[in-house]
Structure 1
């Protein structure tokens, strides 16, 4: 049984985007019902999901319109009137896809960066995150404007006459449209997108390595953040396919479906990999230790230096996301994901100054 390559793109797109939808919904569930807060990072990812559904819908219409003609018919002038309507539909959907695809990736990256910004208490880390946010917004805005005005008259971007003239110089226009070759823009945008993917992956690594926690826990945190490697691999493959696609108009027709396929993989891999860390809260313990089993000992405050205070604050803020359940910190009790992510003993006492949590008797001792 023969399956059109465009039909495969649609099936893969619907499957991956449905998985992304399920994971984003579970993310909202965990953030709202387990952590008690939904932030900007979640809403940005939701917008990225909606735009991904938009690109999936465009892929569907691309398959419908492109299935009504074959690239070999472009070189026969007598066959062009029969395929002109379908070809125009394909050109329009490609025009819309290029714009929406870049914006979807932008919102996905902004969601990750705003999450970094929320947990960043170190000034250098926060500054680097802010710079990256500005860079992603600027290059997305620039590439979007360039895609919209590929031609001096944007309508020429989906002109069938201009497209078919690439094959044999079809006459019929007194003046050719003023358009630039978009392949360089697409290749440059793909390289910048891959570069930002790598930067986003590496940004939190120095902070996580600098945490004063056991190496096993540091590696566990790095492993969680490194799930984004899936998106980077997909981006690399897509850039390779784009290099083949950009060689000639014939190659564009040959590798167009592959380009769309890996675009779906890249976007959905970004959404899924960025949302999976939040789903660990699904496995958090529901049972809480009763209050009567706690012992609270209040003593004189421990004197710490300013450097120790800043370092401890950095650790607490960075690990806060990984130690909350139902909006409550679990510093000394059951961690939200025990035993994979636990809070070290030093944070159990230091996070509240001189308050120590125990599990022996319900009694309060006050030391003067």
Structure 2
């Protein structure tokens, strides 16, 4: 019998794959790779070629029993696979076309090498910032506060999330496209990304709660505290809802092992919706302390430094927006966007920047403590220098209540 290379016509030199063609190939790679446990360590492109050779030998008369015997799926799953392509003849024709005509024209994009360098760099920087934050609380504020311990928990969770992302980078191999990976790597990649998706809401919730608790204890202004209450409800509700959605989106948690099942929820749309809510709370948390800064009786330069300190939160907001854009772009089926490592990279950036920016007031207080002549400032919104308190002078909103500690003086903003 003549081989497919000798019979099938060659595609013209100027032939270009359409988006629909790529989607068909990538989908076929997932369906066929997941239904061929005997060849789970071969690339799904090679497995498609095995199916194509079998289809060519039997002239398209493919049966579920033979597929089960040759490739390892249960007969019921093999029947589903055949019906998915519209019957044995259509199945055979499609995979022969993919294997011997389209495959030579398929692109083979490599995965970006960004996750590991970002994780290492941010872990070093964030560790240093967190150490300075804790030292500042001890040296300047007289002790580590509950919101600092929450930030420490957020730091530990951020490092854990990044470590899982590094493993995700490793298991994904160097290739992006599904047809360049084995089902072993694909399924492990899906499982790891699922773990990252389920874990993410908890990390984000802890970091945001540490900031909200800081603002709550910084003042007794009613509108600030009610804003903190409302934002906390949104943050906790969003995180719990996201966690529940990821767990219940499909009939089985390990949905990648059940390709014939239809999930209840569109994962991409759900991720975008929750990411948008988190961005909204990012903006609220960024804006929340601004009225306090404007009410402080500060010299212009001191006010500017305070505004810059709290405005750093905008950087984390920008990172969140970029992460949302990556969710939109890299959750699609195409040879150039069938990877989620870019999403991992922006999530690492987002989480670490949130911790770094939330630590800025404490780091600034430490700098003021050790270099008052350089910064020429006597306090931050939450702290004053160790030299003492000037009650009723610049640096208070309305009336300020102060409590002395062994390391310095902590200012708490009060309503008149």
Q: Does the Cα contact within 8 Å between 2:157 and 2:203 map onto a contact in 1? A: yes
User: 5+ unaligned residues in a row in structure 1: which ranges?
Assistant: 75-79, 163-172, 289-317, 333-342, 354-368
* Structure 1 residues 251 and 184: alpha-carbon distance in aligned structure 2, compared to 1, 3 A threshold: farther
Q: Secondary structure at the match of 1:248?
A: coil
Choose the corresponding residue for 1:276, options 348, 360, 376.
360
Q: Is the 8 A contact 1:125 1:207 kept in 2?
A: no
TM-score, normalised on structure 2? Answer: 0.62
Distance 1:244 1:330 in 2: 53
8 Å contact kept, 1:10–1:60:
yes
Of 85, 109, 113, 2:184 maps to 85
Residues 178, 338 of structure 2: 8 Å contact kept: no
**Deviation, structure 1 residue 179:** 4.1
User: Residues 198-251 of structure 1, C-alpha deviation per residue, up to 9 Å, x if partnerless?
Assistant: 111111112222234444433332221111111011112121222212343655
Q: Is the 8 A contact 1:68 1:86 kept in 2?
A: no
1:124 paired to 2:223: yes
Give 1:239's match in structure 2, choosing from 317, 321, 324: 324
Contact 2:110 2:174 in 1 (8 A): no
1:182-201 map, 5 Å: 182-201=267-286
Within the candidate set 104, 108, 112, 2:211 is matched to 112
How far apart, CA to CA, are the structure 1 residues paired with 2:152 and 2:395?
Answer: 37
Moved more, 6-15 or 184-193: 6-15
Report which of the two structures shows the higher radius of gyration computed on alpha carbons: 2
Quote the Cα distance in structure 1 between the aligned partners of 2:361 and 2:243.
30
- Residue segments in structure 2 that go unaligned for 5+ positions in a row: 1-108, 373-378, 403-416
- Residues 1:181 and 2:266 aligned together: yes
Which residue, 165, 168, 182 being the options, matches 1:62?
168
Are the structure 2 counterparts of residues 214 and 86 from structure 1 closer, same or farther at C-alpha, using a change threshold of 3 Å?
same
Instruction: Give secondary structure in 2 for the equivalent of 1:321.
Output: coil
Give deviations 1:108-160, integer Å, cap 9, x for gaps.
Answer: 1111111101112211111111111111111111111111222122122x42x
Contact 2:112/2:341, CA 8 A, preserved across alignment:
yes
**Retained in 1: the 8 A contact 2:168–2:193?**
yes
Structure 1 position 264 matched with structure 2 position 325: no
* Deviation string, structure 1 residues 298-357 (Cα, Å, up to 9, x no partner): xxxxxxxxxxxxxxxxxxxx96623143xx74327xxxxxxxxxx84586xx7689xxxx
Contact 1:27/1:275 (<8 A) preserved: yes
- The verdict on how the C-alpha distance between 1:61 and 1:320 changes in structure 2, with shifts beyond 3 A counting, is closer
Asked if the contact 1:5–1:257 (Cα under 8 Å) also holds between the matched residues in 2, the reply is yes
Match of residue 390 from structure 2: 331
Equivalent residues, number: 287
C-alpha separation between the residues in 1 aligned to 2:369 and 2:145?
23
The answer (yes or no) to whether the contact 1:9–1:59 under 8 Å persists in 2 is yes
Give the match's secondary structure for 1:67: coil
